[in-house]
Structure 1
């Protein structure tokens, strides 16, 4: 098939070949194929040669080949290709009819050169080069813009979903030492182990075995430990994000993601540490639901740094319109701590119903950027724990085969030690046994409610125009602390530190509702770049019932409350996001028999 062309003066157009910008003509397709640099083996090379030779318009078969090649390269869809092929065939038929009716080429003022002489030849009107270049550039820009927006024609790029996914994590390897004073008291009861084992018979007439106890005398050296966390955050839209995080850990306890090496090189556990959806309707408001980082401005006086909260929280942060250097912030949250089993008690037709334990939290604060070297931040908070206080059960006839009592579900799911406890079971005496010979297997619950008032302050400054200094302070008081209420219960409180008996008289009782922390940090508070460092010294004081012992720092006095002492720490970044650190925690009891515990931690940390 030969190519016939018709030429006329610039600006003239054939009546049957009107060009529209919204449609790609046959001649434009040939130019577009060359302009986009399409090459796909011999077919593309042949098309380039035909289109480049003598600047001739393409034949019908050439245009169809070019259209099919554009479909193969993903530039056109098959539907658009079919439409263009039909257009090509229609224009070819019109050209034949026009040439037959006007063989001289005078119609419409357009001269036709080399009219078709063979069946199947197509006469294509001449399109000026400037017009072809303009149309080609416009179509090329539209195609490239679409390709960029859909990420299907850019080199070295990834699909759209990849740009909306963020992966982060951290790794820590630690060598840890526990040092116990030789003057420490022995036989400190491990109440967490008692509850986990289903109770301990406190009747000395029926049980001569010692209760589970804590180690207070034997040092532990070279405890190799590590932590690994890996998280994925997905940007769902401008307002929604979702995230999950996996983390290591010896168990499912809430305060630590640290695993201990050993165990015959056995593989270690991986836990679901975070799962949340975040909604940000405005730039200054966030609403998060699921399991997520602690949203409150606080320290490890109340909450471990590894603690994740389950529930719903709404946080705001906004600068004052009149003074952009002052920013207000706050958080409201509701967090379920423990659910009652729907089938409790399992061996009774009368179920206990729901008795969910909750934490409600509210905080409001402000941050003031005084100048380039001084910034202060402070907040007031209130944390209300609901349904945590233990109560005495109804008479419980374990001798008849019952396996639990009505308030066993009030035993806390997790404790570290320090809070005052009460026995929960009202064990009915076996009438077939002599008085005092009925076993009394007890589980233990909290003697107090916890409604915490917390004040936290932080000041960042620069010393001598060169060295950063951060001062932190925090004070907490349990507003629900009331000794008289605890001793009015049907069972007397158990001194959290007492090792000689399971109950104590009010005259011997020692506890308190207060706690505080003071800390000074010199250097970069969070070393990230090579050469950055810091050194800090802190003093911490926590009376037994100042806060819930379950959620405090697990390293200071090895966790819990009823502890006071010093913390020294230092860190140095050896590379970007890689740093060495050391901490020495020296703590002893606030009340009760002596229990002094020092902890040394040597670490290398990395994050990505």
Structure 2
């Protein structure tokens, strides 16, 4: 029996393995034929339905093919029955789908075949194509966002929270001095920075340090560069830093002068702050930051950064949103006393930190689309600024400082009334009047400023913008009687000697004001923007601290009055040319007339 079976398998029968292989092949052939027939049936169905409306062929072709494979011995009846049942089921599903498509508008066939070999292309309506496109786009974009790929113009999260800004300015500057100027103006800043100057003419035959007042300075090539980074840490917190150029660490200017044998220039830390904004109408800033007050350069230079803590609020009135109230409170340390002063004494001085306390309240009113009015009242209290005469100081015994040396201001531009700080004891071993007197100088007055600032923006003839600015300041702490009753008599800012000054000869004052008109864009930004400005300033010697005023008008400080003319034109976006002519002279004292011309190219980013 086994041989017979083997012989049958060898001649015409099929073993289980062979039958299995044939079954696999038949399924593959059937699948290929089914796909071909399905494509043919689908194409014929589309053509027939489009041309004649006839029904699609039934599944009989597939069933006949299966029966043929059974007769060939490729399929068993059991497998064939299973395939036929599957074909019938798929045919039923296809019929249901065909009926559904028939219910919808049939796709038209563009350029129906007219010759053998032509292919019929069904027309897909635009609305269907739009739906397919939108669906595919949504799926692709969703996947791209989920997997963080193929997103144009995207960066890591921290990049979106960082903002970089800055500006560059190059300037050609000219200083013109009147030939009628006096030439003996004492440079008190140089005296203090040098640790004192012997003012006794019997022991020191050199002249006091003086400022230049007669020799012009032409073609001073100057520049300013600032680069800042601001980081948004959260919805409430922001941090920022800024680096800036500058000739020195003075507070009022970041302008540097070219030259110096092409030596590299200094870069300073100009800003460093953290800002907290708990609500939309309040922010609190700590560190070193821009002047938070609404003011002009009558009091504070435009480049001045303030160290300390400030809180700003700004809120529109609920009853009238066109009126916005604003205000600022701040505390700012100006100068600390060294914690080891005096350095060569076991008895140390107390804490005489110099502070500025500032408070301002104001309102902004949008009158209409062409008129806006803004005004504010401010009070600035500079504490511990006034100097005093020291206790007797025996420098001849080896002392290197006196008890009030720390009251000398850290920075002076010129104009404020000064007093001598050292009460130098005479050396009994020397002839009278032969003891050296290396003197330091401090401020003769305190400064408590009341300030009023107003600004009106309007449009002239419905075409040209016009801005009017005005400011008035008064030093409420100014008191001549108190100054002359002190142990150390005041020295006029224009007097080159430290000799006694009588009150009848003394001239100073606590008042200052500024008026300014700007025609055109106040801040040129777009190509073609322009403006013209004209301003007048008047600042008596002790109206405010000379340390923080504009360093260009009268080359800084107080005791100055005069006018300013300016023009600017934007040659490209955020790039503009400007020119300013500042003409100023003294309010009181010996003649000192200084004119300044500045030609600039500015850019910001």
Give the TM-score of the pair, scaled to structure 1: 0.76
Distance 2:166 2:591 in 1: 40
Distance 2:138 2:549 in 1: 65
Deviation at 1:202, TM superposition (A): 1.2
Q: Deviations over 1:4-61 (max 9, x none)?
A: xxxxxxxxxxxxxxxxxxxxxxxxxxxxxxxxxxxxxxxxxxxxxxxxxx9xxxxxxx
Counterparts in 2 of 1:575 and 1:155: CA distance versus 1, 3 Å: closer
State the match for 2:281 in structure 1: 284
Secondary structure of the corresponding residue to residue 215 of structure 2? coil
State the match for 2:146 in structure 1: 146
Q: Deviations over 1:439-480 (max 9, x none)?
A: 111000000000000000000011111111110000000000
State the match for 2:438 in structure 1: 441
State the match for 1:306 in structure 2: 303
Within the candidate set 337, 351, 357, 2:334 is matched to 337
Distance 2:146 2:510 in 1: 65
Structure 2 residue 522 is matched with structure 1 residue 525: yes
Within the candidate set 464, 467, 470, 2:464 is matched to 467
State the match for 1:412 in structure 2: 409
Distance 2:205 2:598 in 1: 39
State the match for 1:15 in structure 2: none
Structure 2 residue 534 is matched with structure 1 residue 537: yes
Secondary structure of the corresponding residue to residue 286 of structure 1? strand
Distance 1:557 1:362 in 2: 28
**TM alignment of 1:351-362, pairs within 5 A:** 351-362=348-359
Within the candidate set 578, 602, 605, 1:581 is matched to 578
Q: Which has the larger radius of gyration?
A: 2
Secondary structure of the corresponding residue to residue 571 of structure 2? strand
Deviation at 1:395, TM superposition (A): 1.1
State the match for 2:239 in structure 1: 242
Deviation at 1:145, TM superposition (A): 4.2
Gapped regions of structure 1 (runs ≥ 5) = 1-53, 55-103, 106-110, 114-132
Deviation at 1:153, TM superposition (A): 5.7
Structure 2 residue 566 is matched with structure 1 residue 569: yes
Within the candidate set 179, 182, 189, 2:179 is matched to 182
Distance 1:519 1:304 in 2: 16
Deviation at 1:146, TM superposition (A): 3.4
Deviation at 1:499, TM superposition (A): 2.0
Determine if contact 1:247/1:257 at 8 Å carries over to the other structure: yes
Structure 2 residue 261 is matched with structure 1 residue 264: yes
Distance 1:465 1:367 in 2: 22
State the match for 1:373 in structure 2: 370
Secondary structure of the corresponding residue to residue 341 of structure 1? coil
State the match for 1:221 in structure 2: 218
Deviation at 1:503, TM superposition (A): 3.5
Deviation at 1:156, TM superposition (A): 4.2
Counterparts in 2 of 1:330 and 1:558: CA distance versus 1, 3 Å: same
Deviation at 1:502, TM superposition (A): 4.0
Determine if contact 1:495/1:503 at 8 Å carries over to the other structure: no
Q: Deviations over 1:458-510 (max 9, x none)?
A: 00011111111110000000000000111111111111111244441111100
Secondary structure of the corresponding residue to residue 504 of structure 2? helix
Secondary structure of the corresponding residue to residue 506 of structure 1? coil
Within the candidate set 286, 290, 293, 1:293 is matched to 290
State the match for 1:35 in structure 2: none
Q: Deviations over 1:108-133 (max 9, x none)?
A: xxx999xxxxxxxxxxxxxxxxxxx9
Give the TM-score of the pair, scaled to structure 2: 0.77
Structure 2 residue 443 is matched with structure 1 residue 451: no
Structure 2 residue 236 is matched with structure 1 residue 200: no
Q: CA RMSD in A?
A: 2.1
State the match for 1:326 in structure 2: 323
Q: Deviations over 1:423-448 (max 9, x none)?
A: 00010111111111111110000000
State the match for 2:592 in structure 1: 595
